[in-house]
């Protein structure tokens, strides 16, 4: 079975995670639907030690071929959940053979996938483009990674090509930051690993943001507006003032590369109370700390201005830049570079403007850079990938495990 055929099967299974249920893993029971499918498929392929636990982590193992038992065990990881940002129910993948490089009308949704907005489409010309009908996300993040890993395993079993041991794991809830939290590294059994969860096939990522979540809770004083002078504290206006104190250029829409940002993700409010939620990101540890200090300074200034207890800031560390760990294991990055070159591509090392399960796993003692799946425009209706890029991703995986 080709990788794209697996993706089409997996895309039909709704596995969206839910950040409102993040205290339970998996955050949605429907993720078990894909767990059951993958467990059956891995057993049918001939993988050993196939196991899924009560938290929807699915493990498998492909033993080393004779004479390769002394080689390191390489781990391959791809998450099964899809992002809660946009609907993942009733996904209807659409294939566009021999893509001509122009606009693609996404069903009757009124949406158009355009190379003006998504320049990566220029690399898809002549290939079979896979999109949705514009009403859902596709789920290639990261069902494409799952499909590519299992297709590579199937090819190794079919061909008998020599390889060391290969450990496979498909965790849940990566999209809400919990994918690596309960991964059993001892059961997994890898010496090092790769997440297959990135964009372009030729990319390798071993630098992530340092990341935190921030929440401002604002308590107002609500009285009749006719007698409000020097008494009323409008919580919604205080929240607006808080956001106005942040640098306007340091937001995702105006930054790229290594530049960090403050990203307002949610806001709600009334006169009596208001709430602002942010994600805070920076690749540099010092600048990241400065961003967190800025938020603390704003909390202090607001309470000095409006009274103690008006504003309460909660900062929660989410992950750190995994370059701190992988910088001491660059041989696994070099292995990936060599595999990408073997697949006929030019390796590109690029920082992730986000995080992966590999960030947490690296700090838990399992060095874990990230590989590309060939997909793009994740988390929304414009998500797309090609059959050919998925085939290339399979070849990269084969090059890594057979190095």
Catalytic (active site) residue 81: yes
Contacts of 3 (CB under 8 A, 6+ apart): 144, 147, 148, 151, 387, 390, 391, 393, 394
Tell me the sheet residues that pair with 96: 129
Contact assessment for residue 357 and residue 318, using Cβ atoms and an 8 Å cutoff: no
Contact assessment for residue 194 and residue 366, using Cβ atoms and an 8 Å cutoff: no
Strand order in the sheet with 273-282: 261-269, 273-282, 210-219, 311-319
Q: Which of 369, 399, 375 is nearest to 389 (CA)?
A: 375
Q: Please state whether beta strands 370-372 and 192-198 pair in parallel, antiparallel, or not at all (unpaired).
A: parallel
Structure tokens at 197: 């969860």
Give the C-alpha distances (Å, rounded to integers) separating 241 from 18, 301, 309.
30, 11, 16
SS3 of residue 221 by DSSP: strand
Contacts of 44 (CB under 8 A, 6+ apart): none
Catalytic (active site) residue 199: no
Structure tokens at 322: 């995994």
Q: Which of 14, 41, 81, 391 is catalytic?
A: 81
In angstroms, rounded to a whole number, what is the distance separating the alpha carbons of residues 55 and 365? Answer: 21
In angstroms, rounded to a whole number, what is the distance separating the alpha carbons of residues 179 and 175? Answer: 7
Contact assessment for residue 145 and residue 196, using Cβ atoms and an 8 Å cutoff: yes
Q: What DSSP designation does 64 have?
A: P
Q: Which of 14, 142, 174, 199 is catalytic?
A: 174
Task: Return the active site residues.
Answer: 81, 174
């Amino acid at each position: 079975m080709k990788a794209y055929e697996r993706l089409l099967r997996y895309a039909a299974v709704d596995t969206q995670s839910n950040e409102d249920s993040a205290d339970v893993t998996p955050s949605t029971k429907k993720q078990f639907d894909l767990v059951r499918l993958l467990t059956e498929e891995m057993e049918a392929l001939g993988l050993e030690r196939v196991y899924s636990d009560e938290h929807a982590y699915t493990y498998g193992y492909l033993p080393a071929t004779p004479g390769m038992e002394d080689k390191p065990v390489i781990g391959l990881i791809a998450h099964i959940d899809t992002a809660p940002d946009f609907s993942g129910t009733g996904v209807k993948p659409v294939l566009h053979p021999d893509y001509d490089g122009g606009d693609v009308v996404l069903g009757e949704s009124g949406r158009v996938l355009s190379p003006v907005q998504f320049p990566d489409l220029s690399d898809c010309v002549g290939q079979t483009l896979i999109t949705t009908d514009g009403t859902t996300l596709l789920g290639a993040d990261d069902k494409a990674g799952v499909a590519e890993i299992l297709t590579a395993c199937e090819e190794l079993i079919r061909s008998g090509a020599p390889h060391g041991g290969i450990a496979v794991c498909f965790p849940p809830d990566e999209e809400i930051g919990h994918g690596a939290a309960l991964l059993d590294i001892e059961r997994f059994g890898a010496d090092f690993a790769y997440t297959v969860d990135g964009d372009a096939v030729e990319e390798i990522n071993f630098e992530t943001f340092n990341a935190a979540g921030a929440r401002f809770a604002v308590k107002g004083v609500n009285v009749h507006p006719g007698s409000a002078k020097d008494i009323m504290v409008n919580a919604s206006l205080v929240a607006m003032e808080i956001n106005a104190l942040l640098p306007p250029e340091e937001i995702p829409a105006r930054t790229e590369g290594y530049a960090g940002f403050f990203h307002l993700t949610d806001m709600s409010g009334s006169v009596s109370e208001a709430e602002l939620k942010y994600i805070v990101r920076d690749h540099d540890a010092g600048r990241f700390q400065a961003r967190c200090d800025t938020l603390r300074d704003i909390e202090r200034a607001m309470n000095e201005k409006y009274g103690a207890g008006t504003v309460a800031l909660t900062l929660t560390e989410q992950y750190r830049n995994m370059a701190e760990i992988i910088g001491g294991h660059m041989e696994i990055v070099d292995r990936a570079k060599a595999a990408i070159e073997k697949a006929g591509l030019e390796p590109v090392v690029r920082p992730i403007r986000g995080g992966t399960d590999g960030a947490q796993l690296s700090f838990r003692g399992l060095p874990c850079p990230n590989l590309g799946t060939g997909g793009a425009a994740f988390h929304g209706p414009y998500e797309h990938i090609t059959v050919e890029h998925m085939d290339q991703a399979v070849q990269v995986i084969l090059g890594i495990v057979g190095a």
